[in-house]
């Protein structure tokens, strides 16, 4: 099958195409309809289909004779452990934890927040929720208490599952104080909290009423799976939007299972028994789709890595894992390779390992800059595949489909649209642009299976955020272009979302934090280019009249405020006092222009600007401060 034929068919006969992909999975009841619209006019896949995602990912492999095959490898250089779970063992553990949740009153449709580091129990917790038809909401361990509180209030979980600590390099980070702080702030109180004690730092459960995970799991009676509808929700995953309030991306069961199962072979070229590794975190969509669900749905062995590209113990960590577990396809954010390249520019540490099992290197999460692409290609001598996707879609929008037909790669491009995605580039007036003309990257409805059908309890925001700009098209928020061969280039966000070391953050969220400082009258946060992290946030501050503060003290206080309100991974380190902020006459701050000016990119000053002189004025201040040259 050629890529062209596969892609064409997905657009000309979407129902036939996805029926066939759905038939590759054993459903309890096959869908009655493949594609139709729900009461909100949203396109939905596989109405009437009955399944259980955890059963498909675990029990059915055991039933098909793969019980002894390794399902999950926990490789943790930060604790010095490697543990392997067979499909039979993982099924047994998931059933037991599901039983524990059920005993705490969790049933179909109830929410469970999972605030855990990269330990196997995090994956077990997700699958246990899926087994019960409960909806999990995993919150990345790097988020500070206020962000966790926002997510607790939005999802209103019956139970929160957590651990005593996370480990960042050699830093042990206790989670209980963060969770206690979040619960104290939140209006909603969970019925129960279950905490996994880790030996690196035991939490004092005292009078908290928190349950000890090990005792709770040991006492549980394994639970059976619950049949759900294809359109029933599997999980909520919060992601940054343009405002301070995160968007609860909802994922359903049926479309998700079909899309991920298809993607494992079609995109990553792995199948039953192959070892797949996504070095991300379960708190992000990559972790949901390609540490937990995708590999297990396909019967692969998935690696869950609790470590870093460098200093755990060195910049050869990835090569060690690939050799040790015979990884076939590896997926990580480009920022991780920039970190390796910085410490080991010649990639000399690779020579100590036999990484001949590795057939493909996949990257995503941020733009793959051409120097990193070339470094990878030169050093690995295998296809280096950039692919573009978002939390909202749950799997790739553009990729070089290794399992269908490997196309020529072009540096800086995630290649071509994946089947199911009808991608267009539009100008501001909604006109389709020609080759090499940059505009908004949009996707014509219907989106393929796996993509979000709504935002949790906020359908109006879903409609406004994604479908109000260009009716009939999903607005990705990214700008880019297609070249004369149709290759897609994704250049960056058009909105106020930034990408720091592969982590998606809202500048609006950071502005809300800065604005709390008593000396600040107004502020803007922009994401500027950074050689290591891709982008980093920069704060531009207008002080209140008469505010008498030392700029260095102010910056220190603001950095601390962002760490405590958002989390350290936001990497907010720099804030500069300016005299004025560029705005439109209606008062909208022109953040994109400031960003482009700092990055040395061309920008057009809009006719609606209040005073065009403000832009060069800010340029002078930033040059004097050494922020730009």
Stretch that binds ligand AMP, among 15-23, 58-66, 93-101, 362-370 (CB under 6 A): 362-370
Question: Which of 373, 473 has the CB closer to ligand COA?
Answer: 373
H or E segment and range at residue 563: helix 551-565
Q: CA 626: distance to chain centroid? A: 33
Question: Which of 225, 268 has the CB closer to ligand AMP?
Answer: 268
Q: Is residue 312 a contact point for ligand COA (CB under 6 A)?
A: no
Contact 128, 54 (CB under 8 A): yes
Stretch that binds ligand AMP, among 306-314, 386-394, 563-571, 619-627 (CB under 6 A): 386-394
In the set 25, 103, 173, 426, which binds ligand COA (CB under 6 A)?
173
In the chain the first and final C-alpha atoms are separated, in Å, by 51
142 binds, among ligand COA, ligand AMP, none (CB under 5 to 8 A by kind): ligand COA
Contact 451, 393 (CB under 8 A): yes
Question: Which of 60, 387 has the CB closer to ligand AMP?
Answer: 387
99 binds, among ligand COA, ligand AMP, none (CB under 5 to 8 A by kind): none
What sign does the CA torsion over 42, 45, 49, 53 have? negative
In the set 220, 336, 443, 577, which binds ligand COA (CB under 6 A)?
336
Question: Which of 102, 391 has the CB closer to ligand AMP?
Answer: 391
Question: What is the DSSP annotation of 123-179?
Answer: HHHHHHHHHHT-EEEE--TT--HHHHHHHHHHH--SEEEEESEEEETTEEEESHHHH
Q: Any alpha helices (H) in 53-86, and if so which ranges?
A: 53-54, 60-61
- The site string for ligand COA over 471-510 (x = CB under 6 A, - otherwise) reads ------------------------------xxx-------
Q: Is residue 470 a contact point for ligand COA (CB under 6 A)?
A: no
User: Among residues 430, 426, 474, 471, which one has the least CA distance to residue 448?
Assistant: 474
Residues 538-557 touching ligand AMP, rule: CB under 6 A, are: none
Stretch that binds ligand AMP, among 99-107, 313-321, 380-388, 579-587 (CB under 6 A): 380-388
Distance CA 72, CA 74 (A): 6
For tokens 């149709």, what's the residue? 486
CB of 400 vs ligand COA, minimal distance in Å: 17
Question: Which of 9, 311 has the CB closer to ligand COA?
Answer: 311
Peptide bond preceding 313 in cis form (omega within 30 of 0): yes
Q: Is residue 571 a contact point for ligand COA (CB under 6 A)?
A: yes
Q: Can you count the helices (H) and strands (E) in the chain?
A: 20, 31
CB of 330 vs ligand AMP, minimal distance in Å: 15
Name the CA dihedral angle for 473, 475, 480, 485, rounded to a multiple of 10 degrees.
Answer: -30
Q: Any alpha helices (H) in 455-542, and if so which ranges?
A: 459-467, 507-514
173 binds, among ligand COA, ligand AMP, none (CB under 5 to 8 A by kind): ligand COA
Beta-carbon-side half-sphere exposure of residue 121 (alpha carbons within 13 Å)? 21
Q: Is residue 141 a contact point for ligand COA (CB under 6 A)?
A: yes
Size of the site for ligand AMP (CB under 6 A): 19
- The site string for ligand COA over 352-391 (x = CB under 6 A, - otherwise) reads -------------x--------------------------
In the set 203, 279, 332, 490, which binds ligand AMP (CB under 6 A)?
490
Distance CA 359, CA 382 (A): 6
Distance CA 17, CA 39 (A): 24
For tokens 């201040």, what's the residue? 621
Q: Which parts of this chain interact with ligand COA (CB under 6 A)? A: 141-142, 166, 168, 173, 280-281, 284, 286, 308-310, 333, 335-336, 339, 365, 501-503, 568-569, 571
Q: List residues binding ligand AMP (CB under 6 A).
A: 239, 285, 364-367, 386-391, 414, 477-478, 490, 493, 499, 504
């Amino acid at each position: 099958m050629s890529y062209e034929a596969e892609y064409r068919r997905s657009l000309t006969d979407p129902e036939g195409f996805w029926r066939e992909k759905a038939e590759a999975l054993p459903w309890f009841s096959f869908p009655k309809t493949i594609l139709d619209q729900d009461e909100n006019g949203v396109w939905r896949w596989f109405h009437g289909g009955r399944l259980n995602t955890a059963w498909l990912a675990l029990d059915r492999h055991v039933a098909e004779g793969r019980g002894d095959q390794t399902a999950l490898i926990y490789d943790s250089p930060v604790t010095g452990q490697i543990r392997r779970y067979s499909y039979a063992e993982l099924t047994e553990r998931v059933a037991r934890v599901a039983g524990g949740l059920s005993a705490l009153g969790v049933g179909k449709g109830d929410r469970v927040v999972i605030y855990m580091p990269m330990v196997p129990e995090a994956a077990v917790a997700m699958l246990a929720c899926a087994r019960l038809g409960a909806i999990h909401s995993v919150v990345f361990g790097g988020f500070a208490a206020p962000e966790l509180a926002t997510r607790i209030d939005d999802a209103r979980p019956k139970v929160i599952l957590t651990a005593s600590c996370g480990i960042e390099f050699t830093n042990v980070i206790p989670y209980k104080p963060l969770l206690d702080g979040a619960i104290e702030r939140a209006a909603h109180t969970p019925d129960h909290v279950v905490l996994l004690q880790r030996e690196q730092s035991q939490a004092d459960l005292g009078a908290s009423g928190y349950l000890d995970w090990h005792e709770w799991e040991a006492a549980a009676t394994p639970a059976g799976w619950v049949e759900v509808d294809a359109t029933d929700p599997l999980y909520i995953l919060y992601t940054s939007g343009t405002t301070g309030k995160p968007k609860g991306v909802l994922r359903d069961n049926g479309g998700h299972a079909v899309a991920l199962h298809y993607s494992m072979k079609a995109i990553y070229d792995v199948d039953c028994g192959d070892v797949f590794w996504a070095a991300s975190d379960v708190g992000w969509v990559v972790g949901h789709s390609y540490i937990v669900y995708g590999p297990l749905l396909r019967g692969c062995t998935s690696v869950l890595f609790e470590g870093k590209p460098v200093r755990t113990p060195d910049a050869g960590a990835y090569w060690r894992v690939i050799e040790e577990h015979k990884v076939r396809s590896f997926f990580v954010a480009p920022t991780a390779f920039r970190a390796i390249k910085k410490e080991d520019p010649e990639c000399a540490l690779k020579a100590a390992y036999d990484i001949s099992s590795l057939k493909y290197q996949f990257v995503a999460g941020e733009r793959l800059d051409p120097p990193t692409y070339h470094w990878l290609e030169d050093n690995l001598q295998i296809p280096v595949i950039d692919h573009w996707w978002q939390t909202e879609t749950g799997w790739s929008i553009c990729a070089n489909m290794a399992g269908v037909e490997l196309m020529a790669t072009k540096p800086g491009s995630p290649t071509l649209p994946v089947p199911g995605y009808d991608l267009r580039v539009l100008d501001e007036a909604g006109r389709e642009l020609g080759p090499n003309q940059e505009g908004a990257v949009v996707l014509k409805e219907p989106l393929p299976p796996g993509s979000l059908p709504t935002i949790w309890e906020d359908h109006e925001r879903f409609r406004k955020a994604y479908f109000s700009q260009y009716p009939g098209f999903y607005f990705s928020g990214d700008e880019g272009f297609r070249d004369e061969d149709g290759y897609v280039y994704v250049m960056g966000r058009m909105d106020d979302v930034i990408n720091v070391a592969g982590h998606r953050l809202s500048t609006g969220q950071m502005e809300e934090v800065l604005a709390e400082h008593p000396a600040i009258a107004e502020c803007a946060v922009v994401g500027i280019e950074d050689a290591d992290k891709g982008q980093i946030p920069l704060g531009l501050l207008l002080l209140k009249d008469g505010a008498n503060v030392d700029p260095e003290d102010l910056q220190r206080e603001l950095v601390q405020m962002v760490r405590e309100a958002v989390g350290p991974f936001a990497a907010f380190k720099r804030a500069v006092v300016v005299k004025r902020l560029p705005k439109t006459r209606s008062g909208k701050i022109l953040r994109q222009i400031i960003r482009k000016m700092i990055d040395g990119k061309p920008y057009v000053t809009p006719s609606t600007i209040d005073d065009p002189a403000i832009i060069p004025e800010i340029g002078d201040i930033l040059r004097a401060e050494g922020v730009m040259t």
